[in-house]
Structure 1
Amino acid sequence: MHRITPSNTSRLTFTSSNNERTFSNTNLTPSPLKKNVTNVSNKSNSNKITQAKKLTNKQQPVLTSDQLHKTWQQWQKEAPYTEKQSREKVVKKLIENLKTQNSSLNLARCQISSLPILSPHVTELDISSNKLEILPESISTLEKLTCQNNKLKVLPPLFQNIIHLDCSNNLLEELPLFSNTMKKLDCSSNKLKEISLSSSNLTTLNCSNNQLEKLSISKNTLKTLVCSNNQLERLATLPNTLINLYCSNNKIKELPNIPNSVQTLNCANNQLSKLLALPANLDSLDCKNNRLEAISEFPSNLKKIDIENNQLKELPQFPNELTYLNCKNNKLTDLPEISSKLIALYIDKNKLTNLKDIPASLEILECHDNLISEISETIVNIFKHEYGRLFIGINPLSEQAIEHLKKIVLLSANQHISAEQLKSPKTPYNPYSLTQAG
């Protein structure tokens, strides 16, 4: 069926002797947090890590299996009235985990406000979506910790074995020291103002939705960096290993040199007035809602381009592999030759006078609010099928253009009407959006 719609619709050490298990315990109260966030690159912080390890080891008295049971039972007895059932369930999980010696323990969504000491064989812990405000230092020996969606204001002072940490959606204002084992860190949606993670083995960092004013990652092996929705005015030197960069919704006025390894770049909603040379391997570019006045060249591998809402008057040659193009709300008067593989084209709110060289591969065309008067037979042939979408309202369409459109659409404005009832083509800007919908 064909129809038309109005155009304005548009995530302890352990030892055993005979049959007796012994466990090392730690103080349940974290030490004061180190200032100036994480930085494991220099000798000063290396010394801090060594000292913290020594201090942690000194604080580890040994618990037997029975003592560990008693500790859990005492923790259960001390439960607030509203947590009695929750703690009972958690203790059952702890006892079962102790029997099975499973290295992974899931205590997510248990509605607990404190965490008891854990069995030392546990290396992976999920305590997400609880009511935790503080964590015991015993967790600092974990390899993987998921503690998102809590009320944490601080973390234990040292994670000496950590590989993967998700502490997103908390109230953190600082991060603790991490050793070089860290590979993945998600600290998004906190209250962080500064992060420094030089010279580590980190491959993935998500620090979006914070209050970051400074971010230092120059000596990392990062592959993915997500730092969107912060207060950043600039980015420091980016590592040559980077593949995906998401820095949208900041206050960035100029990007640094982007390594050729980068395949995905999202720098939308910033204050960019220009783009330096784009990386040769770039596959996806999103720089909408900036102040761009010119783009020198598109890399040949680009498949997706989103440059909506800028100040562009012209565009460079499009890549042959391009499948998606959004250049709405610019000042374009013409388009370069379009890729024969293009599927979606959004060119609304420009100053285009014609639509030439539209490829047969196209399935979506939005070109309302332009100066288009003629519609080619190519467009008719593309959109006469029962699929695809065409928005072409608010253009000074000629009589011939309307005759072409009669073949592929019905026109409506609040109700369905025939093509003959369209306002006179002499009216410069008709109020209709012509749509084909399957």
Structure 2
Amino acid sequence: MTQSPLVRLFRGNPKSLNLSGKKLLQVPPPIVQMQSLVALEAKNNRLTSLPEFISVLEMLEVLNLGNNEFENLPAVLQYLKNLTKLHFFGNLLQNLNPSVLSNMKQLTFLNLNKNFLTDLPPEISRLESLQVLSVCNNKLQQFPSQICTLPNLHELHASHNQLESLPLEIGFLQQLKKLYLCQNKIKELPEGLGKLRQLFLLDIAGNELRIFPTEMHNVPLKELYCEANPLLEEMPVHSVQEEEILSLKELSARLVMKEVKDKTSNIRHRIRHFKGMRELLSQASKCSVCSDAFLNTWLECVKFDLKINKCNSAFIPVRALLCSYKCFNSEGHNYYGVAFP
């Protein structure tokens, strides 16, 4: 009797099995006999669930379930303790089961492209081994701040979503090397982006960005894609304002911050007893011209001086903060005030 191609797939004791494009409605039960299986390809089928017996595949490291009809992450995934790569693109996911995510601690690669996700649960932080996360072509509006606690994340792919901002804590992703954010609705990048000292590729094309963070010069970018953004352009306009009136709070804060720099100052030694004052001053900014500290943003400026390879623009607008019009009107700097039409 001639055996069908599907039956022949289960002969022997293979390390990998390819069930892709078989029009499967369910995973064939004989797979339980293949407990040494390391990689299972089952993309391009019509699967909607995984049976409990999949949990016997304790050696499984790679699982590809792309282009199926799953509406949820199967609960059985949490029992595959050696699973390191999971492809789940092109399904019908609207949310992610937090309990499943919490138990996939060995996962290093997760592909969730082309689903219907509107958010990611805080439990994404439990994927402590994750190096690559891809969530392109979903409906994400924001990332949870907990995503910034992933200690080993090297690549984050989130193009073609509805993101309007990034978490302020993004600077904690110290291992991040590639960040893909094209075709979203991002209007402003957080200042923490300047702390990503491993980042060499940033794709922010096709957003609503006007200016880059102040510390972009600290990011070792080799590739920057920023076309199709309403970036500020260099159009010098003379400023007639020469002085300003500071509030009593601002004047006091500036005086205290100046005194704190003096090691012999009584204020420097007394301030340690005032927690509220320390917290307030910790939010201070540094003037890009005179380097003095100030509390509230007084004058937002821009400098066109960051050259990045492979960027369509020779220079990009980088934010700078100045403490006064005195600094702004001083000579020898290349900062421009931001004027809105």
Question: After TM superposition, is the score higher than 0.5?
Answer: yes
Structure whose residues are more often helix by fraction? 2
The answer for the alignment partner of 2:27 in structure 1 is 135
Picking from 156, 160, 185, the partner of 1:249 is 160
Picking from 196, 206, 209, the partner of 1:292 is 209
From the superposition, tell whether residues 167 and 93 of structure 1 become closer, same or farther in structure 2 (CA, over 3 Å).
closer
Mapping of 1:185-264 within 5 angstroms? 185-195=86-96, 196=98, 197-199=101-103, 200-216=105-121, 217-220=124-127, 221-236=129-144, 237-238=146-147, 239-256=150-167, 257-258=169-170, 259-264=173-178
From the superposition, tell whether residues 181 and 222 of structure 1 become closer, same or farther in structure 2 (CA, over 3 Å).
same
Picking from 138, 152, 158, the partner of 2:47 is 152
Report the Cα offset of residue 307 of structure 1.
Answer: 0.8
Mapping of 1:4-403 within 5 angstroms? 88-92=4-8, 94=10, 97-98=11-12, 102-104=13-15, 124-139=16-31, 141=35, 142-157=37-52, 159-160=54-55, 161=58, 162-176=60-74, 177-178=76-77, 179=79, 180-195=81-96, 196=98, 197-199=101-103, 200-216=105-121, 217-220=124-127, 221-236=129-144, 237-238=146-147, 239-256=150-167, 257-258=169-170, 259-276=173-190, 277-278=192-193, 279-296=196-213, 297-298=215-216, 299-313=218-232, 317-318=305-306, 322-327=308-313, 335=315
Report the Cα offset of residue 229 of structure 1.
Answer: 0.3
**How far, CA to CA, are the matches of 2:20 and 2:205 in structure 1?**
34
Please list the CA deviations of residues 258-316 of structure 1 after superposition, one character each: whole Å capped at 9, or x if unmatched: 31211100011111111112212111010111111211232441011111111211565
Q: Which residue identity is paired with 2:152?
A: T
Structure 2 residues not aligned, in runs of 5+: 234-302, 318-341
Aligned residues: 221
From the superposition, tell whether residues 201 and 336 of structure 1 become closer, same or farther in structure 2 (CA, over 3 Å).
closer
Name which structure has the greater RCO, CA cutoff 8 Å, separation 6+. 1
**How far, CA to CA, are the matches of 2:187 and 2:53 in structure 1?**
42
From the superposition, tell whether residues 295 and 336 of structure 1 become closer, same or farther in structure 2 (CA, over 3 Å).
closer
From the superposition, tell whether residues 318 and 173 of structure 1 become closer, same or farther in structure 2 (CA, over 3 Å).
same
**Greater C-alpha radius of gyration:** 1
CA contact (8 A) 1:295 1:316 kept: no
**How far, CA to CA, are the matches of 2:53 and 2:209 in structure 1?**
44
**How far, CA to CA, are the matches of 1:93 and 1:213 in structure 2?**
38
Q: Give TM-score scaled by structure 1 length.
A: 0.47
Structure 1 residues not aligned, in runs of 5+: 1-72, 77-86, 105-123, 328-333, 338-438
**How far, CA to CA, are the matches of 2:9 and 2:54 in structure 1?**
24
Report the Cα offset of residue 336 of structure 1.
Answer: 6.5
Report the Cα offset of residue 159 of structure 1.
Answer: 4.1
Report the Cα offset of residue 230 of structure 1.
Answer: 0.3
CA contact (8 A) 2:9 2:17 kept: no
CA RMSD of aligned residues (A): 2.4
